[in-house]
Amino acid sequence: MSGTVMAAEIAEAGAALSRQLMANAKATAALAARLKSLDPSFVVTIARGSSDQAALFLKYVIETRLGLACASIGPSIASLYRAPLRLKGAVAISISQSGTSPDLVAMQQAAQDGGAMTVALVNDAQSQLALEADALLPLHAGAERAVAATKSMIASLFAGVSLVARWSEDAELSVALGRLPSLLGAERAPAPEALVETLAASRLMFVIGRGPTFAIAAEAALKLKETSAIHAEAFSSAEVLHGPAGIVGPNFPILGFAPADAARAGFFETVQRLESFGAAPLIADIAQHPRWATLVAPDGGHPLTTPIAALHAFYRLAEATARRRGRDPDQPPHLMKVTRTV
């Protein structure tokens, strides 16, 4: 690892998950039992930035594991438009590092006023968002100083999936979650130089995934903008051929996060189509692809934990890419650690 704060915080992710697993065991079980008893009709999420990508991941987890519709609510519905929402019988899940952004606090309060049970996944357990929620699962990520969120994002994904695993009584998923902290905490080789060079030379690129890995792709695209000033745009592999592919030309870089579920075959068919248009694919997967450059990530042991391991591996690549481009990933220009949107 390099000497940046971002690199150090990426390396701390496994320890953060271990803390969370132990500290939240009883609270997660109790909340899951409460939600089973409530039997909500649907779920909404409240988040911004990286946390909203965690919410998108959680949407796929909730819809595939619980059969409940899950949708993101724009915080401005409460903070700017002051439009009351009818959320009786729903659960509203807020996700945040700091728990202090006024629009998130306002939207959570509006969800409560609209009849929803509110749940907060927040790193600062003493924040307003955490204290005002009906139920709290602290992230236990510890202090995070780099502007680009990494370990708190991983902790948000882990907390959401852990809750659904208990809620749905999915023993296989629970086992995979129990192994993830040590998997992410293991020593890893530096990001491959060839991949660093490829990304560092890019100015515009697509990042694609499908299902849960679409959420990972959206987060990866955000990090490439934040840390390396690369105009990376995220698409589902189900959508990228519908219009966005019109700008693909010779050597157009595409970073694809391979799904570990039913979407896998179709995802690779799309990558092949994009390559036929001239694209230069780079794949994040659990094994080296015989044809394309590959960011090899650990196998998480489950279709919902493997994408988290892939994101963790990508963070190391993103940090190295930023430094190769002569940028400080700890202090990107124009950005602050906490954005207090109203």
Residues 138, 218, single domain; the answer is: no
Residues 53, 69, single domain; the answer is: yes
| Domain tally, the chain | 2
CATH number of the structural domain spanning residue 304: 3.40.50.10490
Does the pLDDT value for residue 337 go beyond 60?
no
Look at phi and psi of residue 67 and say left if phi exceeds 0, alpha if psi is from -120 to 50, else beta.
left
Residue-number span of the structural domain to which 305 is assigned: 193-324
Query: Rounded to the nearest 5°, which phi and psi values hold at 45?
Result: -120, 155
Residues 269, 296, single domain; the answer is: yes
Residues 31, 154, single domain; the answer is: yes
Does a structural domain hold residue 268?
yes
Does a structural domain hold residue 330?
no
Q: What pLDDT, in 10s, does the model give residues 110-144?
A: 999 999 999 999 999 999 999 999 999 999 999 98
Does the pLDDT value for residue 338 go beyond 70?
no
pTM given for the model: 0.96
Residues 227, 310, single domain; the answer is: yes
Residues 58, 12, single domain; the answer is: yes
Least confident of 21-30, 165-174, 187-196, 206-215: 187-196
Does a structural domain hold residue 114?
yes
Residues 159, 205, single domain; the answer is: no
Residues 255, 171, single domain; the answer is: no
- Residue 336: its H or E element: none
Residues 164, 268, single domain; the answer is: no
Residues 141, 287, single domain; the answer is: no
CA 282 remoteness from chain centre: 20
Look at phi and psi of residue 95 and say left if phi exceeds 0, alpha if psi is from -120 to 50, else beta.
beta
